[in-house]
A and B are shown apart, each in its own frame.
Chain A
Amino acid sequence: AQRVTQPEKLLSVFKGAPVELKCNYSYSGSPELFWYVQYSRQRLQLLLRHISRESIKGFTADLNKGETSFHLKKPFAQEEDSAMYYCARAGGATNKLIFGTGTLLAVQP
């Protein structure tokens, strides 16, 4: 079965510190991978996708096929980055997404 693993339920860092949210996926050809974010009292929304190779709000994520990882990184955390982050992969031909269990990022002042 296709799986997405986020090993950390909670990641707490201080403002200005680097952030790395871990995501590993089960190997299956060429996956499409995404990061979604949910800020407090807001709806879940797409943060970035690996195919776009973009940086959004200072976050980047690189697909590492050798390690089957898609970690989300930001060099300097801000308090407004505090949110729940979900890693997801496309579920094959059906346009489904398979989500990880999420990591709550708490950025302390």
Chain B
Amino acid sequence: DVKVTQSSRYLVKRTGEKVFLECVQDMDHENMFWYRQDPGLGLRLIYFSYDVKMKEKGDIPEGYSVSREKKERFSLILESASTNQTSMYLCASSLQTSGYSYEQYFGPGTRLTVT
């Protein structure tokens, strides 16, 4: 079974704090993704990475950065947390392929509250 784990299920931070969300997968997947999930807005892609040290912006990268130093780990960084970043954050991973899109495996999510 693919396992995608996220460092925290719940997190409460103050406005202006630097926040790190960690994601680890154990299936040697090349691709890793960070989404935020908000009611009525669905899943929106923040950043994704298709290889170590490689990253690409998704649809809503503003206010976020990412780090991928090892294949199994993909970190999401909120440089200066703001209340509008209160959300559920989902990490996912998938195999790299050309042509056919493979299944994305999701972590349990981190519910971040910024006060």
| A residues at B contact (CB < 8 Å) | 6, 9, 32, 43-46, 49, 51, 86, 90, 93-102
Contacts and interface: CB of A to CB of B under 8 A. Distances in A.
Contacts of A86: 42-43
18 contacts: A6-B42, A9-B40, A43-B108, A44-B43, A44-B92, A86-B43, A94-B48, A94-B50, A95-B31, A95-B50, A95-B97, A96-B58, A97-B104, A98-B45, A99-B44, A101-B40, A101-B41, A102-B42
Contact of A43 (B33, B100, B109): B109
Give the size category of B's interface with A. Answer: 20 to 34
Nearest to A100: B42
Interface in B89-110: 90, 92, 94, 96-98, 100-104, 106-109
Nearest to B106: A44
Given A93-B98, A100-B42, A46 B103 contact: yes
Interface in B41-57: 41-45, 48, 50, 56
